[in-house]
Structure formats: structure tokens, C-alpha cells
Amino acid sequence: MSDEVKDIIMSNIRKDVMLKTLETGKRYDGRAMDEFRPAEVHKGVIGTAEGSAIANIGETQVLASVKFDIMTPFPDRPTMGVFMTNSELLPLASPIFETGPPREDSIELARVVDRGIRSAEIIDLESFFIEEEKVLGLFIDLYVLNHAGNYTDTSMLAASAALTDTKVPKVEDGKIIRGEYKGPLELGPMPFSTTFVNVGGNWLVDPTRDEELVEDTVITIATTDKHVCSAQKGKGSLSKEELMANIDIAFNKGNEQRKIVQG
Amino acid sequence: MEKRIIMPGEKIAEGIVRVPNTYVEGDATYAAVIGTLDDSGKYIPLENRYRPSMGDVIVGMVTDVRHAGYEVDVNLPEGGFISTRVIKIKLEFGDFVICKVREVTETGDVELSEVRRLPKGKVVQFPTAKIPRLIGRKSSMIEMLKQYSGGDIVVGNNGMVWLSEKCDIPLLLKSMNMIDENAHTSGLTDRMKEFLEANGTRTVPEQIEEEHIDEGEMNG
Amino acid sequence: MAETEKLIIDGKRLDGRSPTDIRPLRIEAGVIPEADGSAFVEWGGNKIVCGVHGPRECIPRHGANPYQATLKCRYMMSPFASMEEHGRSGPSRRSTELSKVIREAFENVVLLERFPNTQIDIFIDVLQADGGTRTASVTAAAVALANAGIPMKDMVNSVAVGKADGVVISDLSKAEDNAGQSDMPLAFSHKDKKLLLFQMDGLLTREEVAKGLEMAEVSAGLVHEKQEAALKRIYEEGKKKFTL
């Protein structure tokens, strides 16, 4: 039997048992279907970065760091700064994370969070222009420190919190003066994401590891205060009605997270 | 009885005492893992990595079906093995089983026997050093959990705990979490009783036939 | 050549410490629930997290040793760990070397023979660096291994001693590491006081080495106290969410 077939069989066995609990209206950890685990953020945790934050959703924990460097702009956008997002699924964070070059899960995480921030257009990249061939580049690093399910929303939360913690460094003679700052990074309404999994017909918000292992469908929806700014469906499928219902929930959950970051 | 927490490398006895999670050097025995030591010299590990020994009760999951037998995930680096010679029924991939450790070879392979298949349920992991606490003195803790959960529970020495799908799984998971976090404290059985009375319903659970599981104790 | 800045003025170091003082040190154990054992160390401006997994299946299988566990160590510097530029991700020559000497320290104390055909992974991630990351890493790894219940002969503690402006000092800061005259990181087994990690660079007389070792023993003792307190705290105060 191939490993894929084994995974499917195990997933079905686990799902059968979970459905019995879901029928009672609760999940394994006692939550309602549309309930997030307790979330919190701590900003300014990395003194060597220009901005940073740790986000916890339940026991899942992600560190986001923001650092600036001088970069050359893209040739087709010579007056605009750049930003890029990188993620690491640290092997210490879970027995299933391996060492080695980034694989599809890590790459997807970085790109989904990046898209949320980029689409929300919250960073004024024009303000990063220094002089010809020199712009400020912003690096967001997402370090997953503990994987207890849904590192996607936790990463998005950490990234948004880290950006609100970020100070733009002083630039003199085309060089960054580390430790001296122009002022806080100006931002628009931050993006936050909500990840949904469907387990045997039940939509669950903010999945734990157990729930991820048996998901039939997974979709992440990122929202600002007024807009959907990014979406990513992983495995499975959903109807238009299900998508719209999830979008409504995502706006609510996004605003809850917004209060945590602003509070 | 005064108990203190000791670090790996601290002496637990003059002379040689062959107790798990210790090592002997010269004429004395030392702790190899963090544990408690009381005035009478009794050493109990607080954390450990499970090493199977003959006679241990194990909960596992069948991960491969072969002609000669079955490979079983028993939450160890090496899988367990059930030879077709020791089992009459046919097992399938994904079956949960309860069995005994027949032999542990030099290279760490675990051979299993006295195998019985478990019905549908969920298997969770529990720290092996705290398994005696989950079972309780004379099985008091585990029996209490069964009474309030509505289904059967089987605890393996290997840290795998099978919960019947008929159980109130959220209640059990929360209870096991509480026991894990408070394993080293006293009065835990009473506190768990209060918690279960407040949050569960006492029933007579459907029991599967099971053998006597080795008890142990960690605290009063 | 420009006059080099003094590192020690009137017997006091730039950060106000005496030659024998170590920087503020905070240790938390059991901070990564998904790891088998873990620790966080904040030492001066260093912030280091360590997670241990194992013993577990050896990957690749042909790398397994039939007589004992294979110990693996990965020390990594995060790209945001320094005040300067955003670094590159991934291993460097330096991180590869540090991974090796740290692993070799623990190969002395972990009871590997009890887990044949397995591997034990020590993952060290430096989130913020401020001089002495390898000694902070060893300090964290010892706590993580004990937290995991992986059998060891002894606890391991670590500190770097060295020389600046002709004075032998304990626990070099980043400035002292960069501009000082010698850096000698080391690690002891707590009970036997054997040297499990030992490196040095710069120039030291024989007497200076001896003095450094004496100083290191005292400092390492303080480190051990903090390691022990961190491990005990889980049982005395219960698990807490940690933050950097």
C-alpha cells in the first residue's frame, strides 16, 4: 500500500471518530465550530529588528520580524521600495517539520501572507525611495516556533502585529543608520486571515492539528476592515454559498484580531 | 515525606540500585533524568523517554500488513511487530490494538503478543513518565475517568491511550491535560473528581474485556 | 592606525560589569509544547530557543547506528538576529562548525546506548545575537534535553571567558568578542567539571588560560543554578506561555 493511500485511510478513520464528537456541536477542545482559540500578540520582542511580534493562537506560535536594507528597485518601478516575505517552518516547532530547503508548505505560507499584505496596499512603497538606484527594502521573516495547527492565521497575525511595531530607520548618504529612526512605518488597515477546514460537512474555524489531519477542504481568507484582500484554497472544494458564508465569518474574525493588535 | 526535585547527574544512592532512568558509576547510582527524590531514597522520574520492557502493555496502530505479520506504530522510534504466529484474527491497516511486549531485542525491535483488536476510537499521546498518575493507585484515576466519560479507555505503558468513540472525548482530553500538568502535585485524584462531577455525567461505561494493566504510583 | 577604544576603564567593563560578572541571564524550560523538550535563553542581548526531538526514527535509515542513538545538532542564526543587515537564511560555514562542536559536547553526556537505531535532534535557533551565542546555545540545549527526559550522565553548563585590555574576563559581550584580545568559549559537565566544549582564539599566556578556567568554573556554576531553577519552575509554577 502506498503512503498516500495509508494517509487517506488513517484520515478517514480519524474523521469518523471526530464526526461523532462534532455531532454534539463541540470540537475536541470544546470550542464551537466558528470559534478561534485564545489569541495574543507581543510586540517588540526582537531588538535587532526594526519591528517584530510574536503571535499565539492557542498553542501555535509564530515570530514575525521586520528588517530594512538598502536595495536596488525593480527596473519597471524605479521609485518604489520593495518588500519580501520569507517563512521558516522551524524543525523544533513540530516533529513533522524537517530540515532542508523550503518545501511547498513553507513557500505557500510565505506567499499567502505576502499576498495579504501586498493586496491590502498598507505600505506606501513610494515613501521608501531614497535616490536613483536606491530604495528601502523591507524583509518580513515568519518563524513558526510551535505548530499546534493553523500556522497560517498565526503568521498573518504576527506579520501584521510586527508591521505595526515597525519603525523606519534613518538613511544618511545612502546608508541606513541602525538604531536611529525616522518614525513609525505608516500603514493602512491591516490584513488578518481566517482559515476554515471542512470535516465531513462541518466547517471549522482555526483548525488544530487533529482537524487539519482530517480536513476535506481548507481555505484561508484574508480581510482588511472593508475588503477581502487575499484568499487561498488548498485541498478540496466548496460551493459559492459556502464561500460567501465563510467570507462573512472572516470579516468578523479579522476584526477580532484587529482589536488584539491595536489594543 | 519531604521530596525534592533533582537534576540528571545527581546521586540517588550509595551503592548500586538498578532502577530505570538511572545510571551506575563507580559505587554509586545517579539520576539520568529530572525526577523527585524523597527522604527514603525513592526516586521517581518526572520526564522520561519510554523504553519498552517485557510484559509492558502497549497500545498501537497497525501500519503495515505483511505475510509474516503486522508492523505496529507504538510511539517508539522502532515499530513493533506482531507475528502471524501469535495472532488468530486478521488485522487491517489502521486497526488499533492492545498487546503485550513479548521481547525487546538488542537492536531495539519490539515483538508483541497477546494481541486484541480495539474498536473504533481515538488514540492520544500522554507523557510516559506520568502514565502511573493517569492510571492512579489501584486504577482509581482511570476508573473514575471511565465512569464519567461514557466509554472505555485503555492506557498503554508506551504513552498511547485509546479512547472509545463512545466517550465524551472533549471531557477526557481536558481531563488528561489537567492530569499531565498536575501530575507532580498531591490531591490530584480529589481535584479530578470535583472536575468530573461538575463537567461530566456518571454512567456505567460499556466495557471491553481487558487484562489487568500494571499499576504504578507517582504521588499520593 | 586609529587608537582602539578601551574596553575596560578603571576596572569596569563598558557595560558596567566587573571582570568576573556575567550578563543578566534568564532561562525558561518547556516553551515549545510540540517539541519533546525545549528551552529559551536570554543572555545579555542574546535570545535563543532550543527544541529537542527524539529519540526518533533515524533518517536516513542507513545512517542508523545499531548500538546507539545518533545525536544531531543544528545551530542556525536567524537573518534578523544582528543589528546590521538582514542576513541570508540557511546554514553558513560558521553555523556548521558550531553545530558540530555543540553536538560533540553532548555526545559525552547523553546515554546514547539506551536508544540504538534512533536519532536525537537538537535544534538551536538564534533569534537575537549579542556575543556568546554558542555558550548560550549549549546552556539552552542542556535544559531542553533534561526537559525532554532524555537520559544524561550530567547537566552541562557553558560560558565564554577571554581577555580584553590585558584583563581576563568572563562572559564576553559582543564588543569584547569583536575587539578583545582573546575569546575562549567552553562548556563543563556539572558534576565532574570535565571540559565538553573548548575552543579559543587570540593570545593567552598559560597563566591567563588557568585564570580563565578558574573564572569559568565560577560563572558556569551560576549558569547551572539558573538552568536548575528553570527546570524546577515548571513543576512549581505550572506551564506558562512564554514570550521573548
- Per-residue pLDDT, B214: 32
A151 vs C242 pLDDT, higher one: A151
pLDDT confidence bin for B216, thresholds 50/70/90: very low
What beta strand segments (E) does A158-241 contain? 167-172, 175-184, 192-199, 202-205, 217-223, 228-233
Per-residue pLDDT reduced to its tens digit, B136-145: 999 999 999 9
Q: Please tell me the predicted confidence (pLDDT) of residue B206.
A: 55
Give backbone dihedrals phi and psi of A64, rounded to 5 degrees, phi first: -115, 135
Q: Which domains does chain C have, with CATH numbers?
A: 17-232 (3.30.230.70)
Q: Worst-scoring range by mean pLDDT, B34-38, B70-74, B103-107, C229-233?
A: B103-107
* Domain B3-45 fold: OB fold (Dihydrolipoamide Acetyltransferase, E2P) (2.40.50)
Interface subset of B 39-68, CB within 8 angstroms of A: 63-65
The pLDDT of residue B204: 63
Distance from CA of C50 to the nearest CA of B (A): 17
Inter-chain residue contact C127 with A179, CB threshold 8 Å: no
Interface-testing mutation among C52, C108, C114, C143, with chain B (most B C-beta atoms within 10 A): C114
> If you count residue pairs, one on A and one on B, with CB atoms under 8 Å apart, how many are there?
33
C-chain CB neighbours of B51 within 8 Å are 114-115
- Residues of B whose CB is below 8 A from A1: 64-65, 93
Domain spanning B121-199, CATH architecture? 2-Layer Sandwich (3.30)
**Mean per-residue pLDDT for B77-96?**
91
For the domain bounded by B57-118, which CATH number is listed?
A: 2.40.50.140
Domain with CATH 2.40.50.140 in chain B: 57-118
- B122–A contact, CB cutoff 8 A: yes
The answer to whether the beta carbons of residues C205 and C187 sit under 8 Å apart is no
Per-residue pLDDT band at A61 (split at 50, 70, 90): very high
Please write down the long-range contacts of C84-93, taking CB distance under 8 Å and 24 or more positions apart.
Answer: C84/A178, C85/A67, C85/A69, C86/A67, C86/A68, C86/A69, C86/A139, C89/A86, C89/A88, C89/A141, C90/A101
Subunits that touch chain B (at least 3 Cβ pairs < 8 angstroms)?
A, C
Residue B109 has pLDDT above 90, yes or no: no
Predicted pLDDT of residue C61: 85
- Nearest CB to C117: which of B8, B21, B78? B78
pLDDT of residue B1: 72
Mean pLDDT value across chain A: 95
Cis peptide before C60 (omega within 30 of 0): yes
Tell me the pLDDT band of A245, cut-offs 50, 70 and 90.
very high
- The whole-number pLDDT of residue B220 equals 28
Interface test with A, best of B67, B93, B124 (most A CBs within 10 A): B93
Residues C31 and C29: their CA atoms lie apart, in Å, by: 6
B92 CA: distance to closest CA in chain C (Å): 23
* Length of chain C as a residue count: 244
Split at pLDDT 50, 70, 90, the class of C193 is very high
The yes-or-no verdict on residue C241 having pLDDT over 90 is no
Q: Which residue pairs, CB below 8 angstroms and at least 24 apart, start in C26-31?
A: C26/C226, C27/C139, C27/C140, C27/C143, C27/C226, C27/C227, C27/C229, C27/C230, C28/C230, C28/C233, C28/C242, C29/C143, C29/C144, C29/C146, C29/C147, C29/C230, C29/C231, C29/C233, C29/C234, C30/C147, C30/C234, C30/C239, C31/C242
| Average pLDDT score, chain C | 94
Label residue C176 by pLDDT band (50, 70, 90).
very high
C135, burial (CB in 10 Å: exposed 0-12, middle 13-18, buried 19+): buried
Whether B4 has a pLDDT exceeding 60, the answer reads: yes
Query: Measured between CB atoms, does B5 come within 8 Å of chain C?
Result: yes
Q: How many CB atoms lie within 10 A of CB A79?
A: 12
Residue B180 in contact with partner chain C when CB distance is under 8 A:
no
Residue B38 has pLDDT above 60, yes or no: yes
- Among chain C residues, the shortest Cα distance to B25 is held by C153
Please report, rounded to a whole number, the percentage of residues in chain A having pLDDT higher than 90: 94
Q: Which of C32, C127, C41, C174 is nearest to A162 (CA)?
A: C127
pTM comes to 0.94
| A67 neighbourhood in chain C, CB within 8 Å | 79-80, 85-86
> Among residues A137, A117, A119, A120, which one has the least CA distance to residue A128?
A137
Residue % of chain C over a pLDDT of 90: 86
Contact of C206 with chain B, judged by CB distance below 8 Å, is answered with no
The predicted-structure confidence for C12-26, as pLDDT tens digits, reads as follows 999 999 999 999 999
In angstroms, the CA B62 to CA B160 distance is 13
Q: What is the 3-state secondary structure (H, E, C) of C41-83?
A: EEECCEEEEEEEEEEEECCCHHHCECCECEEEEEEEECCCCCC
Residues on chain B touching C57 (C-beta within 8 angstroms) = 77-78
Supply the pLDDT for residue A97: 94
Chain A residue numbers touching C49 (CB-CB < 8 A): 92, 145
ipTM of the complex: 0.93
Instruction: Give the pLDDT score at C3.
Output: 52
Question: What's residue B207's pLDDT?
Answer: 57
What pLDDT score does B215 carry?
31
Residue B217 pLDDT level (bands cut at 50, 70, 90): very low
| Mean of per-residue pLDDT scores for chain B | 89
- Taking the Cβ of residue B180 and every Cβ of chain A, the question of whether any pair is shorter than 8 Å is answered with no
Which is more confidently placed, C238 or B42? B42
In chain B, list all ranges with CATH 3.30.1370.10: 121-199
A1, A17, A26 member nearest B120 (Cβ)? A17
Residue range C75-122, pLDDT digits in tens:
999 999 999 999 888 899 999 999 999 999 999 999 999 999 999 999
- Residue C57, Cβ neighbours under 10 Å: how many? 14
pLDDT > 70 in chain A, percent: 100
Contact C171, C180 (CB under 8 A): no
Contact of B30 with B3, CB cutoff 8 Å: no
Is the pLDDT reported for residue B212 higher than 60?
Answer: no
Half-sphere exposure of B170 (CA within 13 A, CB side): 17
Tell me the domains of chain A and their CATH numbers: 3-262 (3.30.230.70)
- Please state at what angle helix B188-199 crosses helix B140-149, rounded to 10 degrees: 0
Residues of A in contact with B65 (CB under 8 A): 1
Contact A17 B94 (CB under 8 A): no
A131-145: pLDDT as tens digits: 999 999 999 999 999
Does residue C53 contact residue C123 with C-beta atoms inside 8 Å? yes
